[in-house]
Amino acid sequence: MPKRQPNVLFILTDQQRWDTTGVHGNPLDLTPNFDRMAREGTHLYKMFTCQPVCAPARACLQTGLYATANGVWRNGLALGRSHPTLADHFGAAGYATGYIGKWHLGDPAVAEAVEEQDRGGYQYWLASNALEFTSDAYQTTMYDNANQAVRLPGYRVDALTDAAIRYIDQHQAQPFYLFVSYLEPHFQNRRDHYPAPEGYEERYTGRWLPPDLAALGGSSAQHLGGYYGMVKRLDEALGRLLDALRSLDLLEDTIVVFTTDHGNHFKTRNSEYKRSCHESSVRIPCAIGGPGFEAGGQQRALTSLLDLPPTLLDAAGIPVPPAMQGRSILPLIRHEKVDWNEEVYIQISEAQVGRAIRTRRWKYSVRAEGLGGSEQPGADVYAEDCLYDLDADPYEMNNLAGLLSHRALADRLRERLLARMLRAGEAAPVIVPAPERLPNSQRFLFPEEVEEV
């Protein structure tokens, strides 16, 4: 048992697919540290983002609110101080709070320094609003509490890791909550490249392809080697952070979370890398170690990024604000009887104005036709867009939307989606059924398959 309130180290990567990890079947041994933490701690096997784009997902993590509730429903919107953040809650409970890395929630016109009022209440600050524009693989510049530029040596992942280890070493006197936000394995925007450490891209180029990328291609042949190399270095960074905690006798007193904001479909589902309802965009890796999470096992309940803020507050003994829209997973770990969510709810912006739910078996999504995803947070009318049977088609190659054989199923899923939209604080829209079409060598569903939804 910890001698005091547990420290919290939150590690967030950017755009990391769930199947980059060994515990999700990747055969390249990219993530031995993550895999060990997942096996020895708690592995959230079916974790999903609530918004598959950078700024909204981060705003959801900071506030525990859906993007339409916290006001950051697309990139280019500042979070402001209208809603309390995790830093506010931990700070009020006596924690030292720190943020290192990519923020993406400040003034959208400024890539560099973030003004104090836009830092989400964090006490210690070493970050850039848009790290992808103030740094490159071997040229990392971030900004401190005084908004002074700080140039950090080394590969960018290592530069942030060094800064995090320094913070941990200097904040042992009181419980700390530190949020480390890496850019990797996000692409380097200005040249559409995934710059791995020297020698790492070559290790993985032409190696294992996830089945969706093997079938659809996209930019994976060009980019996957560098992407995997970045993932490998991130896992090495996780190992270094765990070693630092161990060497300071803090490991048993520190909750460590490793996850990402969204996935990466490598231009197979739209013209860029995310912003779609598909597993490659929305399913993400997540493991938690430390007090309260030891030997939590592989949790197969459907969980959302929105569940992490209340979980961490709960684990630290801090009251969870009723306004938070996720739920603590601790009852699942303790094997308590709990009426858990039977689906996760996903809002989609920028590429489209869309909404989706993912159940154990089914994916159902809608989009507002003729409406760009950057124009407004929601719509009054949506049209059915995608329906996937994830048991028969886990890589979402066969869109069943509009099939007469699946009409009753789609109707039930539509009602489930509408209910989740209302729970998230949105108005109930009209959802127009997809144009009917006859099955093309598709079997009809048994009644019990429709009922199980």
**Residue 284 is encoded by which pair of tokens?**
């993400």
Tell me what the mean pLDDT of segment 341-364 comes to: 96
**Residue 264 is encoded by which pair of tokens?**
């990466």
pLDDT digit string (tens) for 51-107?
999 999 999 999 999 999 999 999 999 998 999 999 999 999 999 999 999 999 999
Same domain, 136 and 177: yes
Average pLDDT of the chain is 95
Same domain, 274 and 134: yes
Checking if the pLDDT of 452 tops 70, the result is no
pLDDT digit string (tens) for 17-38?
999 999 999 999 999 999 999 9
Residue 83 belongs to some domain of the structure: yes
Per DSSP, the three-state class of 56 is: helix
Residue 346 belongs to some domain of the structure: no
How would residue 262 be classed by pLDDT, with cut points 50, 70 and 90? very high
Same domain, 179 and 260: yes
Same domain, 128 and 54: yes
Residue 423 belongs to some domain of the structure: yes
How would residue 297 be classed by pLDDT, with cut points 50, 70 and 90? very high
- CB < 8 Å & 24+ apart, contacts of 376-379: 377/67, 377/68, 377/73, 377/74, 377/349, 377/353, 378/68, 378/353, 378/426, 378/427, 378/429, 379/353, 379/429
How would residue 441 be classed by pLDDT, with cut points 50, 70 and 90? low
Contact assessment for residue 145 and residue 132, using Cβ atoms and an 8 Å cutoff: no
Instruction: Sort strands 139-143 and 7-13 into parallel, antiparallel or unpaired.
Output: unpaired
pLDDT score for 2: 44
Residue 109 belongs to some domain of the structure: yes
Task: State the Cα–Cα distance between residues 293 and 40, nearest whole angstrom.
Answer: 9
CA distance readout (Å), 236 to 18, 135, 229, 322? 17, 20, 11, 37
How would residue 189 be classed by pLDDT, with cut points 50, 70 and 90? confident
Q: pTM score > 0.75 for this model?
A: yes
Side-chain-facing half-sphere of 253: CA atoms under 13 Å? 19
Sign of the Cα pseudo-torsion (243, 245, 247, 251, in order):
negative
pLDDT score for 375: 78
Checking if the pLDDT of 447 tops 90, the result is no
CA distance readout (Å), 246 to 120, 159, 239, 240, 253? 29, 20, 10, 10, 10
- The CATH code of the domain that includes 418 is 3.30.1120.10
Same domain, 284 and 361: no
The total of structural domains in the chain comes to: 2
Tell me what the mean pLDDT of segment 273-292 comes to: 97
Residue 338 belongs to some domain of the structure: no
Percent of the chain at pLDDT > 90 equals: 92
Domain boundary residue, one of 301, 333, 365: 333
- The CATH code of the domain that includes 86 is 3.40.720.10
Task: State the Cα–Cα distance between residues 79 and 191, nearest whole angstrom.
Answer: 28
Segments forming the whole domain that contains residue 36: 7-333
Residue 288 belongs to some domain of the structure: yes
Same domain, 277 and 394: no
Same domain, 186 and 256: yes
Residue 81 belongs to some domain of the structure: yes
pLDDT score for 3: 59
Listed residue (435, 311, 414) closest to 357, CA to CA: 414
Same domain, 357 and 259: no
Same domain, 326 and 201: yes
pLDDT score for 374: 73
Listed residue (253, 229, 223, 256) closest to 240, CA to CA: 256
pLDDT score for 1: 41
Q: In sequence order, which residues have a C-beta less than 8 Å from that of residue 444 and are 6 or more positions away? A: 405
Contact assessment for residue 106 and residue 143, using Cβ atoms and an 8 Å cutoff: no
Listed residue (34, 27, 19) closest to 395, CA to CA: 19
- CB < 8 Å & 24+ apart, contacts of 195-199: 195/136, 195/137, 195/226, 195/230, 196/137, 196/225, 196/226, 196/227, 196/228, 196/229, 196/230, 196/232, 196/233, 197/137, 197/155, 197/157, 197/229, 197/233
Residue 80 belongs to some domain of the structure: yes
Looking at the DSSP bridge assignments, the partners of residue 384 are: 366
Same domain, 371 and 328: no
pLDDT digit string (tens) for 315-339?
999 999 999 999 999 999 999 999 9
Domain boundary residue, one of 333, 362, 385: 333
pLDDT digit string (tens) for 150-174?
999 999 999 999 999 999 999 999 9
Task: State the Cα–Cα distance between residues 18 and 260, nearest whole angstrom.
Answer: 9
Instruction: Label each residue of 8-49 as H, E or C.
Output: EEEEEECCCCHHHCHHHCCCCCCCHHHHHHHHHCEEEEEEEC
Checking if the pLDDT of 249 tops 70, the result is yes
Same domain, 328 and 226: yes
Tell me what the mean pLDDT of segment 379-384 comes to: 96
Same domain, 85 and 149: yes
Looking at the DSSP bridge assignments, the partners of residue 257 are: 10, 288
Amino acid in the structure at residue 11: I
Task: State the Cα–Cα distance between residues 353 and 53, nearest whole angstrom.
Answer: 12
